């Protein structure tokens, strides 16, 4: 995989408030009329996971989450224990193009769900997942190890706790703190912590579920 060639993250292009995500999407997609295509009839599915202190013995933990990708490529999700961690908890290539994700941002809340079949081992160690976005089936997300390009990009963003912007005028990123709720050995979820205290609720969530 070719390196991203990132020499620096342009701080002046960083958007530090999540209320500007829609403006960011409009910047990336000024005239886009993108659609998601599937080979079969579109499928929808509802995923619900109650977020409360009872869903985890010690309550939620806080981790760092980053979505990034080339403007004409697909999105990668990286979950780290903290922004400077060199060993991601999870790295997934998602079945959604960067420009389609930007279009979804215009609608407000985004809920990704990842479902795996019944198998042994830790939940987040599963190699592939059936992926849904706001209830619509998109395809498959695939787990992989970080490439040199991934490591270089994440190192350039170590000082960024939350925000969205452009890196090297080609790679777009969205980064923030997430609350992790470990429901059981078959369920895990991550929910964006909005740095704007004036707002309530989460706009971006990831649910991981294993079929029993």
Check pLDDT > 90 for residue 71.
Answer: no
- Rounded to the nearest 10 degrees, the angle between the axes of helix 98-105 and helix 21-28 is 140
Assign 86 a pLDDT band (cuts: 50, 70, 90): confident
Q: Is the pTM of this model over 0.85?
A: no
Percent of the chain with pLDDT over 70: 68
Check pLDDT > 90 for residue 42.
Answer: no
Coil/strand/helix, residue 11 = helix
Check pLDDT > 90 for residue 64.
Answer: yes
Check pLDDT > 50 for residue 209.
Answer: yes
Which distant-in-sequence residues (6+ apart) come within 8 Å of 117 by Cβ?
210, 211
What are the pLDDT digits (tens) for 97-156?
988 888 887 777 889 999 998 888 899 999 999 999 989 999 999 999 999 999 999 998
């Amino acid at each position: 995989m070719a390196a991203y060639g990132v020499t620096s993250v342009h701080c002046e292009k960083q958007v530090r408030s999540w209320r500007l995500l829609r403006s960011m999407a409009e910047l990336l997609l000024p005239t886009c009329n993108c659609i998601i295509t599937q080979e079969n009839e579109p499928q929808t599915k509802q995923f619900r996971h109650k977020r409360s202190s009872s869903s985890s013995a010690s309550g939620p933990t806080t981790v760092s989450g980053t979505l990034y990708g080339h403007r004409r490529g697909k999105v990668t999700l990286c979950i780290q224990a903290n922004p400077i961690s060199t060993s991601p908890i999870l790295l997934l290539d998602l079945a959604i193009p960067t420009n389609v994700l930007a279009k979804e941002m215009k609608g407000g809340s985004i809920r990704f769900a990842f479902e795996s079949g019944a198998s042994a081992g830790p939940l987040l160690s599963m190699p592939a997942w059936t992926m849904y976005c706001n209830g619509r089936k998109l395809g498959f997300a695939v787990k992989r190890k970080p490439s040199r390009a991934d490591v270089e990009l994440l190192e350039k963003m170590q000082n960024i706790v939350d925000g969205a912007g452009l890196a090297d005028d080609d790679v777009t990123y969205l980064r923030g703190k997430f609350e992790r709720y470990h429901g059981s050995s078959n369920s895990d979820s991550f929910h964006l912590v909005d740095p704007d205290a004036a707002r309530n609720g989460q706009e971006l969530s990831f649910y991981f579920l294993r079929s029993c």
